[in-house]
Amino acid sequence: MVRDELSVLSAFLAVAEERSFTRAGKRLGVSSSALRHAIRGLEERIGVRLLARTTRSVAPTEAGDQLLARLRPALGDIRGALDQVSGLRDQPAGRVRLCVSPLAATMVLAPKLGRFARDYPDVVLDVTTTNEGRFDLVAGHFDAGIHFGEFIERDMIAVPVHPISGPRSPDPRATSQRMPGRSRRAI
């Protein structure tokens, strides 16, 4: 519902700026009749006429002007926030919460921390160690965990993080659900 509201408000803004359903439709890539229908629905929902229409022109009413004055900066803020967040896909940043066993912290995680910090300076690792064999990562609000294979719940995606030496076979749950394109190397 919120997405629909934002779409209708963006459509209203485009029609008001273009002062034409046809030009706004071309700008947004939708038909002018779809815009007319959306704006009419918005006006019916709020009970106020936002656009004055004639066969040759479209202009905001006083109520439409009031809405536009608040809508322009609000939609600009939303677009800015979305652009900022989408930029995170290019450079990892933020907090990553890990739950690890003490042995995994020492043998797997610790040797990798220096390089990780150099490669990803904007990522903060929040590491919690626990000896609990079965720990619900989701309920604990953790992003990931490093534990021995026998302690992995069936609904978790397991990725080996330490190379296996010798003739031992890895836990089949760990390799069969490995994420595509990921290597077997640790973090």
Calpha distance 108→157 (Å, rounded) = 18
List the one residue out of 61, 43, 44 whose CA is nearest residue 52.
61
Is the pLDDT score of 1 beyond 50? Answer: no
Q: Which amino acid belongs to residue 96?
A: V
Mean pLDDT (the chain, rounded): 82
Is the pLDDT score of 7 beyond 70? Answer: yes
| Cβ contacts of 48 within 8 Å, gap of 6 or more | 61, 63
Beta bridge partners of 125: 96
Task: Determine phi and psi for 115, rounding to 5 degrees.
Answer: -65, -40
Is the pLDDT score of 120 beyond 80? Answer: yes
Is the pLDDT score of 169 beyond 70? Answer: no
SS (H, E, C) the chain: CHHHHHHHHHHHHHHHHHCCHHHHHHHHCCCHHHHHHHHHHHHHHHCCCCEEECCCCEEECHHHHHHHHHHHHHHHHHHHHHHHHHHHHCCCCEEEEEEECHHHHHHHHHHHHHHHHHHCCCEEEEEEECCCCCCCCCCCCCCEEECCHHHCCCCCCCCCCCCCCCCCCCCHHHHHCCCCCCCCCCC
- Which domains, from first to last, does the chain contain? 2-88 (1.10.10.10), 94-176 (3.40.190.10)
Q: What is the pLDDT of residues 124-136, one digit of tens each?
A: 999 998 887 677 7
